[in-house]
Amino acid sequence: MSKIKTVCVYCGSGSGTNPLFIDAAKAFGKALAENGIRLVYGGGAVGIMGAVATSVLDHGGTVTGIIPSFL
């Protein structure tokens, strides 16, 4: 069985209606970083998407943001 090396996350640029959404995003980002799994995501710095990415970076992980030029 091969090991997961990269995960692509596509989620909201808003924070949602429940603060637990952001907490879960941060926990997920931390888990990715701690397990050496790279994140590819939508490139936003806000909301749930931004929380995942920031958490990965805060815990020493690698992040690649993909965003169309028209945005």
Contacts of 30 (CB under 8 A, 6+ apart): 55, 56, 58, 59
Q: Is the pTM here over 0.75, yes or no?
A: yes
Residue type, 51: A
Tokens of 18: 């429940």
End-to-end CA distance of the chain: 38
pLDDT in tens, 6-53: 999 988 778 888 999 999 999 999 999 999 999 999 888 899 999 999
Any idea what the Cα angle at residue 68 is, between residues 4 and 64, rounded to 5°? 30
